[in-house]
Amino acid sequence: MITAIVLIKTSVDRIPEIAETIASLDHVSEVYSVTGTYDLVALVRVGRHDDLADIIPGQISKIPGVEVTDTHVAFRTYSQHDLEAAFSIGLDS
């Protein structure tokens, strides 16, 4: 399994709508809204590198309101922790 971390800049007034659209795409496992330079982080998991071209420039980049994507392909996984825990900021109720 190939994992790509996609950093996404969007139209700020459309972040929730764009995030939901990206999250509904096949092979997108999670989408997070984040602080910092980028607005969203999407995790894409595919079986072949060629599939990344279909998903990222072929679909994500074409969503209205997506301005920039910056893709990082993971080489190895060093932790087996739940991804949700990795992105948690500790606001348990």
CATH number of the domain bearing residue 64? 3.30.70.920
Boundaries of domain holding 53 = 2-77
Residue type (1 letter), 5: I
20 lies in some domain: yes
* CA dihedral of residues 41, 51, 24, 10 (deg, nearest 10): 40
Number of structural domains, the chain? 1
Tell if the pTM clears 0.85, that is, is over it: no
Residue 13 to residue 81: CA distance in whole angstroms: 33
Give the per-residue pLDDT at 79: 72
Give the per-residue pLDDT at 76: 85
89 lies in some domain: no
pLDDT in tens, 27-58: 999 999 999 999 999 999 999 999 999 999 99
40 lies in some domain: yes
- Choice between 1 and 19, residue whose per-residue pLDDT is larger: 19
- Would residue 43 be called left, alpha or beta, if left means φ above 0 and alpha means ψ between -120 and 50 degrees? beta
